[in-house]
Amino acid sequence: MIAERHDGTGLVRHDVALDESLIDPDAAKVVRRLERAGFQAYLVGGCVRDLLLGSKPKDFDIATSARPEDVKGLFRNCRVIGRRFRLAHILFQGGKVVEVATFRRSPQTEAPEDDSEAIDEDILIRSDNVFGEAHEDALRRDFTINALFYDLDRRQVLDWCGGMPHIQGRTIHTIGDPIVRFREDPVRLLRAIKFAARLDLGIEPDVYDAMVGQRGELARAARPRLFEEILRLMRGGAAHRSMWLLWEIGAMAVLLPELAAYLDDDDATEGGGARFFRRMDAIDRKTKQRGGPLDDGVLFTALLHEPLAESMLGAGDPVAAAYEFLDPIVERIALPRRIADGLRRIVAILPRLAAGRAGRFLRTDLAMPAIEALEIDLVARGKSTEIIERLRSEAQLAAPAVSPRSSGGHRGGGAPHFRPNRTARRG
């Protein structure tokens, strides 16, 4: 009898026919071409998780036994990217990218001594790419629900870490000891919050306790990744739940102590906490209406509006006071200067904007984000938003033809003001 793929790796196969109409046809094509060429190829990660949970995947990632150069040889429209982890990006019409990653194992896992083949392979490693087998690639991932592979032709979910029962129980479990996994990469803590909030999942109690216990480790994480993950918490239509969890776990006190203190002191801020969560609700509603995330500057304004405004209130030099508030945040989470500056200007202009006296400001790049921020503020305070439409048409009329910095920018309301590239993954 021919040995089955993955024999002896502790694999559990589940027969599951995912709805093919929800699977991206280009991603399916890529998988099938790799398989025809004799490689293993699976849909992996977020797309499998989302399909199993009944939500719509954002993108479709593929893991394969093929090396990046093999992938490049099979697809004309392929670019190999990344230095630490080389990945193949296959480009399709309309800017769609299907990411194909070669199986890799966690760099800490030593190759078994008696396995000369694995050692040979190790010698061939280029840069930090530690290639591995499918099961090793599953085990290096963060959460069990993120480690499921889908075999398109056999219509099977491949499960090496018990993720399938956790999908059924809608609960987040780390692969292995949560304390170790959060210490290895504290950003996983924010990822757990994101998945719990966005997909409405429970967090397993030991995982939850480890999040509380290890929250201080976030101070050691790469700051641009922190910025990126905070944005993701607000972009996915579940900003309210995300921020609530972040606060409850005590991670907000590590990342944004200014905001955590503000929320902790609801009495002193006269319901500031309730207003803050109404802002987050407004963001979630708008995100759903629009079918996509709001401008990054608008999101950060909603996040920091009140504590920032409070720090400027009654200051002799409000601009200096604003930077005294913002500079430590720029430092701590790598908040881009451009967003910090925009945030300060928007918060300063809002009272005049609300009074219909913003004048020339309506001609600037910040007009549309500021109007959106005002709308969120009015909603949070339970006030009428009647003025918003009028301000929007005024701003549209006042808009300069094309400003060099905002070409393709946010005037239409949908396109983001700042959109970082996908950062290289760890793990």
Catalytically annotated residues: 59, 61, 142
Euclidean distance between CA atoms 262 and 309, whole angstroms: 12
Residue 392, binding choice from Mg ion, ligand ATP, none, Cβ under 5 to 8 Å by partner class? none
Q: Which is nearer to ligand ATP, 202 or 413 (CB)?
A: 202
Contact criterion met (CB below 8 Å) for 57 and 28: no
Minimum CB distance to ligand ATP smaller for 245 or for 260:
245
Classify the phi-psi angles of 98: left when phi > 0, otherwise alpha if psi is within -120 to 50, otherwise beta. Answer: beta
Listed in sequence order, the DSSP H helices in 95-186 are: 116-123, 134-139, 163-168, 178-184
Stretch that binds Mg ion, among 38-46, 160-168, 261-269, 414-422 (CB under 5 A): 38-46
Nearer to ligand ATP, 9 or 106 (CB): 106
Output 46 or 163, the one with its CB closest to Mg ion. Answer: 46
d(CA 12, CA 406) in angstroms, rounded, equals 51
Residues 183 and 217 sit within 8 Å (Cβ to Cβ): yes
Q: Using CB under 6 A, which of 89, 188, 286, 344 touches ligand ATP?
A: 188
Q: Which does 187 bind (CB under 5 to 8 A by kind): ligand ATP, Mg ion, none?
A: ligand ATP
Angle between helices 337-354 and 296-312 (to 10 degrees): 70
157 forms beta bridges with 14, 150
Among the listed residues 131, 134, 125, 159, the one whose alpha carbon sits nearest the alpha carbon of residue 16:
159
Smallest gap from Cβ 146 to ligand ATP, in A, equals 3
Residue with smaller CB distance to ligand ATP, 363 or 425: 425
Choosing from 22, 32, 36, 58, the residue that interacts with ligand ATP (CB under 6 A) is: 58
Indicate whether 146 belongs to the interface with ligand ATP (CB under 6 A).
Answer: yes
Tell me if 46 contacts Mg ion by CB under 5 A. Answer: yes
| Of 358, 325, 189, nearest in space to 259 by CA | 325
Binding characters for ligand ATP, 122-141, by CB under 6 A (x = yes):
-------------------x
Q: What does the alpha-carbon distance between residue 69 and residue 367 come to, in Å, rounded to a whole number?
A: 47
Min CB(101)–Mg ion separation in Å: 11
Q: Decide: is 410 part of the binding site for ligand ATP (CB under 6 A).
A: no
Residues that bind ligand ATP (CB under 6 A): 45-46, 58, 61, 141-142, 146-147, 185, 187-188, 425-427
